[in-house]
Structure formats: C-alpha cells, structure tokens
Amino acid sequence: MRLPRLSPRAYQRITLLALLALVFIIVTGAAVRLTGSGLGCSDWPRCSETEFVADWGNTHAAIEFINRLITGLVSIAVALAVLGSLRRVPRRKDLTQWSLGLVAGVLAQILLGGITVRMELTPPIVMAHFLLSIVLVWNAVVLHDRAGHDGSHGTPVVPTRVLWLGRALVVAAGVVLFAGTVVTGTGPHGGDEDVERLSFDITEVVRIHSISAWVFLVLAVVTLFELTRTGAPKDVHRRAMWLVGAIVLQGFLGYLQYWTNVPPGLVLLHVLGSVLVWIAAVRLALGMVARPVEAPARQTVS
C-alpha cells in the first residue's frame, strides 16, 4: 500500500506534531527529575539488571519507565516528519535534510539518556541532555517554518540592524538557558536524593542566571521598540510582543520559585516556560525574513 501524497499544509501539520512531541518529552523529563525518579530504573536500556519493564508497584521506576516509553512516541512523530517529507508534493530536499536532523538528534538523545543513567545523573551529563533537547526544538521550529513556505532565501522585512538584533536574541536566549542548567545542576531536585551536585555557590549562579535574563529582556524590549519605530509587519511585531511577554512571565516564575524555596510544581512550569521562550525567540528571528507560501499540488492530502 502506497502512502498518500501530502500537500504543504498537511506536511506542516506533521512538523507541528513533531515539535509538540519534543516539547512534551522535555516537560516529562523534568517531571522525572522533580519527582526524584531519575534513577528509578537503574539500568539502560533495561529498567534493571533483572527486569526489562519497570515494576509498576515501584512509583519511581514506573515514572522513569513511562518517560522512556514517551521517547518512543517522539521517535514515531519524528519518523513521520521524515516520511512526510518524502511524500510531500512537491518534494523538497531541504525539508528532508532538516527532518533527518531530528532523527540524528533523537538518536543522540537516546544514547545520552542511557549515559545519564549509567553516570548516575552526573550534573554535566544532565545539562547536556537538556541542552541537546533545546537544539532539537530549534531544529523542529525551523523545519515547521520552512514547511510553510517555498524554501527560497526570502527577503528581510526589517532593517539589517534589526535583523541582527533578532539573531542576537536567539544567542541571548541560549545563554540564559545554559545559565539555567547550571542553576539546576547546583540546586535541589537532582533526580535522586543521593545525586552529586555542582560545587558552585547557589546564590551566585542564581544571580548570574538572573542577570543574563535581564539582559535578554532589555534586548527584547529594544528589538520591539525598533520594530515599532521602523514600521515592521504586524506578524513580526506580534511575535516580538509574545517574546517580551513570555520573558516577563518566565522571570516572574523564576523569582517566585526562588522566594518559595523552589517547589517542584513551579519548577516544572519554569522548565516549560524556558522552552516556550526559546521557541518565541527562534520564531521572531525567522519571521524577520519573508518567503512566499508554497501552493499545494493536485491530488494531495490536505
């Protein structure tokens, strides 16, 4: 049975599914850590030396194993993105390459996840695990964006200096995310009560993370001001507004969890917020270049 051919719009929906799956696995991975279930399964790929599947009576093992199963669902979503790029009409090489980037990233994540367990949640490995997830989300956002246009180089819709501000925002967001992983590796909620933590002073690393976030916010506000002053298209201006709003809300959550002794629920929301801010920054930078929408071909699934 041959797979149906896909219209550009149908394929873009598949890429959105892959993006949402990657965001979901980041949140569930954080839930594993925050419930102290990071070593619920002490082995990999088996749950333990004697059991492939977790003992469902063991809460920590069940939580960790469910997260591994969710990785399988993410793999399916990514595989659909690759297959969809091959059945899309017209087929485009760039979409296949970007979707294969997701495959490579997911395989690396699976391998790194195994190393994380074998290394008993050593903070630098856990940090790398999260940061690789962020790179995967960037890949998925770019793929989803490219699936919505004709693949041309496009034309900037903002002045060059504003275009560079958009790119600087992505870099600044990456710096904030990295600083946040250092805070996580230094503070509580390491995934298991016996896990070693980074030897930094928690107050100092929180301060550095906070300063980087404030710089990021100032840069976003300056970008929004420049977009308003130069009469940027409404869509770009709206993306900048979303980014500023997301940074402000994320900052509020950060201070709130610090003042309330980092309760797991707020930390989970903060992790989700960090991913959403990252997506907003990447989308703003992408939106500063306009490209024609690709018309669907005949006899495709839309």
Q: What is the pLDDT along the chain (302 residues), one digit of tens a residue?
A: 577 889 999 999 999 999 999 999 999 999 999 999 988 888 887 888 788 888 888 899 899 999 989 999 999 999 999 999 999 999 999 999 999 999 999 999 999 988 998 898 999 999 999 999 999 999 999 999 999 998 888 899 999 999 999 999 999 999 999 999 999 999 988 888 778 899 999 999 999 999 999 999 999 999 999 999 999 999 999 999 999 999 999 999 999 998 999 999 999 999 999 999 999 999 999 999 998 887 656 555 65
pLDDT of residue 252: 96
pLDDT at 188: 87
Q: Which amino acid is at 51?
A: E
289 forms beta bridges with 156
- Residue 302 pLDDT: 56
DSSP type of residue 238: H
- pLDDT value at residue 144: 97
pLDDT of residue 44: 81
Question: Residue 194: what pLDDT?
Answer: 78
Residue 290 three-state SS: strand
Q: What is the pLDDT of residue 42?
A: 81
Alpha carbons 101 and 13: distance in angstroms, whole number: 18
How many alpha carbons fall within 13 Å on the CB side of residue 84? 27
Instruction: Give pTM, 2 decimals.
Output: 0.94
Residue written as tokens 């394929």?
A: 11
Please report the pLDDT score of residue 1 as a whole number: 57
- Position 50 scores a pLDDT of 81
Give the DSSP H/E element, type plus range, for residue 145. helix 123-146
Euclidean distance between CA atoms 150 and 107, whole angstroms: 29
Which residues neighbour 101 within 8 Å (Cβ) at sequence distance 6 or greater? 139, 143
Q: What is the pLDDT, as a whole number, of residue 297? A: 60
